[in-house]
C-alpha cells in the first residue's frame, strides 16, 4: 500500500510555474455542431449523428440537447432511439468535417512547436517556445478559442496545463465552450483525488471494472494502493499510478502519416453476409481503397492482413507476408487467398490492411501499375469490373473517384449487398 512501489521527488509535485505549456483543444460535439452551424433549424433540437434508427450502428456524436435524454457517443443507435425517439438522426458527412478540420488544424498548429492530432476535432499543442511564460501561454490558449470561433464559427474547449494528461483533463472540466488551467501535479491531484478512477485518461470501462472489483474506486484509492494497482494491471498499472499523482512526462509528438504501422479499410454490413462470392467483390473495392491510402502517404509494405467479424461478434484475422505490394491487385490477390482459407460463417464486418510499411523511395505508386510485367494484373481488374458491372449495374471502372469520396464507398457496398 502507499507509494512504496513508486518514488516521487518534491520537484515533480511542485506548484512552481511549469517547465512546459501544453494545450489540449477539443471541439464541442464537433459533427453535430457543424451541422447546426450550417442549418439553424437544428440548433434547439436533439441531433444525433451516426447510423439511422433502423440501421445497425452507433452514435458518432450528438449535440448537448440530445445528451439531456441520456444519449452519448458510442451508444448503440437502437438504445439512442429508445431514449430519444423524437430526435433528428443523420448520417455523418465526413467530407464536410474533414474540410472544417483542416481549417481548425491550420489555426491551432500556427501556435505550436509540436502538434499531435488525436482526431479531426482534437489535438495536443506544445506552445512552450511560443509562450515563454505563463502569461504568454494564457494569451495563446485564449487566442486559439477566439480564432476558432471567429474563423470557423464553432466553439471549442481548451485546457492549459503542465502535461498532456492534465491538459486533457482541463479541457473536459468546463465543457462546452470552456477554458481551464491545471498548472502543477499538485493542482491536478487536488482536482481529481476524490473522483472515480475513470477521470484518469486511459482508464477505460474494463480497467475501471477491474479496479472497482479490487476495492479501488477513487484516484485517492489508487494513490494509497499503488502496489496493488501495479500487481493487478502490470505496466498499465504503473502508468496509472503515476498519473494518479499527476506525474506525466510524455511529450507532444507530431504525427506523420508515413509513420503508421499499417494502413487498412473495413466495412460493417447493415445485415450479416453469408455469401463469400459477394465478399470477394467487396474485397475488390477495399483493396483499391487501401491502395489509394498507401499511395497518398508514400509508403509501401509487404504484408497483407484480412479481418473478419462474424455475426456472433467473434473476430479473426489472417495475414501473410509477400513481396512488396506493387499494385492494388496485389492486395486483392492476397486478400482473396486469405479469405478462401477461413471457415465460412455469417459475416458482420470485413477489412483489409497492409503492414510492414516503409517509406516509398524509388518508384511512383499508381492505381494500376504501368510496367509491362504487371499487364496481367491490370487486365485482371478490368475483367473483375466488367463482371461486377453486369452483376450490379454499376460502372465501377470509370467512377472510382466518386466511389471513394466520403461515405460513397459504404453506400456502394450496401447497394451491392442488396442487389447481389
Of 157, 189, 192, 160, residue with least CA distance to 175: 157
DSSP sequence for 27-71: ESSHHHHHHHHH-GGGTTS-EEEES-TTSS-BEEEE-HHHHTTT-
Of 101, 51, 80, residue with least CA distance to 414: 51
C-alpha cell at 250: 510524455
Cis peptide before 97 (omega within 30 of 0): no
d(CA 92, CA 370): 37
377 φ, ψ (degrees, to nearest 5): -70, -40
C-alpha cell at 292: 489509394
**Angle between the 408-419 and 375-392 helix axes, to the nearest 10 degrees?**
60
Torsion of CA 144, 148, 154, 160, to 10 degrees: -10
CB 59, CB 18: distance < 8 Å: no
Active-site pick, 35, 65, 116, 122 = 122
**Annotated catalytic residue 122:** yes
Q: Cell 499494385 belongs to which residue?
A: 327
Query: What b/e sequence results for 116-139 when a residue is b if at least 16 CB atoms lie within 10 Å of its CB, and e otherwise?
Result: bbeebbbbbbbbbebbeeeeebee
Q: Name the DSSP class of 265.
A: E
List, in sequence order, every beta strand (DSSP E) within 96-237: 114-119, 122-126, 156-161, 179-182
Residue 100 CB burial class (10 angstroms; 0-12, 13-18, ≥19): buried
Catalytic site residues?
122
Amino acid at each position: 500500500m502507499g507509494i512504496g512501489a513508486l518514488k516521487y521527488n518534491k520537484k515533480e509535485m511542485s506548484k512552481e510555474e511549469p517547465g512546459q505549456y501544453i494545450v489540449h483543444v477539443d471541439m464541442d460535439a464537433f459533427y453535430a455542431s457543424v451541422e447546426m452551424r450550417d442549418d439553424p433549424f437544428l440548433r434547439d433540437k436533439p441531433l444525433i449523428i451516426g447510423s439511422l434508427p433502423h440501421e445497425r450502428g452507433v452514435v458518432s456524436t450528438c449535440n448537448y440537447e440530445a445528451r439531456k435524454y441520456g444519449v452519448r457517443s458510442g451508444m448503440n443507435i437502437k438504445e439512442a432511439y429508445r431514449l430519444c425517439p423524437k430526435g433528428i438522426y443523420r448520417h455523418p458527412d465526413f467530407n464536410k468535417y474533414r474540410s472544417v478540420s483542416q481549417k481548425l488544424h491550420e489555426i491551432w498548429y500556427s501556435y505550436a512547436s509540436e502538434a499531435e492530432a488525436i482526431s479531426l476535432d482534437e489535438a495536443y499543442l506544445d506552445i512552450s517556445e511560443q509562450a515563454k511564460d505563463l502569461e504568454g501561454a494564457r494569451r495563446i490558449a485564449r487566442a486559439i478559442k477566439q480564432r476558432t470561433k471567429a474563423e470557423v464559427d464553432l466553439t471549442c474547449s481548451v485546457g492549459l496545463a503542465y502535461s498532456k494528461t492534465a491538459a486533457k483533463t482541463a479541457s473536459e472540466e468546463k465543457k462546452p465552450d470552456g477554458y481551464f488551467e491545471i498548472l502543477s501535479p499538485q493542482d491536478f491531484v487536488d482536482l481529481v483525488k476524490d473522483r472515480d478512477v475513470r477521470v484518469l485518461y486511459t482508464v477505460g470501462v474494463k480497467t475501471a471494472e477491474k479496479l472497482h472489483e479490487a476495492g479501488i474506486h477513487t484516484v485517492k484509492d489508487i494513490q494509497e494502493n499503488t502496489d496493488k494497482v501495479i500487481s493487478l494491471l502490470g505496466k498499465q498499472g504503473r502508468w496509472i499510478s503515476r498519473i494518479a499523482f499527476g506525474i506525466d512526462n510524455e511529450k507532444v509528438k507530431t504525427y506523420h502519416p508515413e509513420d503508421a504501422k499499417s494502413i487498412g479499410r473495413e466495412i460493417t454490413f447493415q445485415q450479416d453476409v453469408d455469401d463469400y462470392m459477394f465478399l470477394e467483390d467487396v474485397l475488390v473495392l477495399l483493396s483499391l481503397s487501401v491502395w489509394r491510402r498507401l499511395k497518398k502517404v508514400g509508403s509501401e509494405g509487404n504484408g497483407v492482413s484480412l479481418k473478419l467479424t462474424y455475426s456472433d461478434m467473434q473476430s479473426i484475422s489472417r495475414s501473410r507476408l509477400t513481396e512488396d505490394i506493387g499494385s492494388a491487385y496485389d492486395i486483392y490477390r492476397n486478400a482473396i487467398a486469405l479469405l478462401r482459407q477461413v471457415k465460412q460463417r455469417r459475416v458482420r464486418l470485413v477489412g483489409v490492411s497492409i503492414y510492414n510499411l516503409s517509406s516509398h523511395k524509388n518508384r511512383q505508386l499508381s492505381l494500376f501499375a504501368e510496367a509491362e510485367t504487371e499487364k496481367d494484373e491490370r487486365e485482371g481488374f478490368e475483367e473483375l469490373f466488367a463482371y461486377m458491372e453486369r452483376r450490379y449495374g454499376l460502372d465501377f471502372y470509370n467512377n472510382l473517384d466518386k466511389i471513394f469520396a466520403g461515405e460513397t464507398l459504404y453506400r456502394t457496398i450496401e447497394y451491392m449487398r442488396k442487389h447481389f
